[in-house]
Amino acid sequence: MRLAGARVLVTGASSGIGAATARAMAASGARLLLTGRDPGRLAAVAAEVGGEALTADLVTEAAALARWAGPVDVLVSGAGAGWAGPVAAMPDGAAAHLIAANLTAPVELTRLLLPAMIERGRGHLVYVSSIAGAVGVRDEAVYSSAKAGLIAFAESLRYELDGIGVSVVLPGVVDTPFFARRGVPYARRRPAPIPAERVARAVVAAVERGRAETYTPGWLRFPARLRGAAPGPFRALACVFGGSGRR
């Protein structure tokens, strides 16, 4: 799909991957609709890229957001939330919130925006998942399962939609506020975090080139493929190296 002149809705656009994606989309000539939960940061990003902005919480306001956005050519589902620690230590409501923010809300927003795309016979859906959704991560079981659900949702959509592209971008460790917000900083030396702009370029390329699945960085394909082809050796390695990181 050509992005020049396309009407693009980016969720989670107030910071991190979402904000970087807004800038990359603007550089490609897209007309931007941006949403996020931080009104100050969101307004700053919108002013920078010449986009429209609506402060909203996707978990509770997906319907209002869809009405505000109207028909769009591209949805970039970048909003999400994290929590790190053993499942048994999760506070009440934390698991439900993670699943709602990372899976239920993107599914619901897609459901609301799809009819207009289907009617026109064109459009593109991009879901920012995570390598955690492809391989599982220690102390991020609920987050990983929600991101895995997003991958399966996108795969299933491809079989029922004609003329509408569906892409999943799976980042590894990305230098964003994600770790501070989840409550546990990223302390490993390797893999080193990559800039959010690198993921944003992958999102743009996924739309322009019709890519179904993109790992960022590309070497993350190896552990994902190894888990599918040889789960026993993969789990042994995962135990040695402590699992994968996340943005």
Torsion over CA: 111, 152, 55, 16 (sign): negative
Report d(CA 221, CA 112) in Å as an integer.
32
Encoded tokens for 127: 């879901």
Task: Please state, in angstroms and rounded to a whole number, the distance separating the CA atoms of residues 165 and 237.
Answer: 35
128 to each of 171, 202, 242, how far by Cα in Å? 8, 10, 23
Q: Which helix (H) or strand (E) holds 10?
A: strand 7-11
| CA separation for the pair 153, 127 (Å, rounded) | 10
DSSP string, 37-70: S-HHHHHHHHHHHT-EEEE--HHHHHHHHHHHH-
Strand order in the sheet with 164-171: 52-55, 31-36, 7-11, 74-77, 123-128, 164-171, 213-216
Q: Is 242 exposed, middle or buried (0-12, 13-18, 19+ CB in 10 A)?
A: exposed
143 catalytic residue (yes or no): yes
Q: Which one is catalytic: 127, 143, 186, 215? A: 143
List the catalytic residues: 143
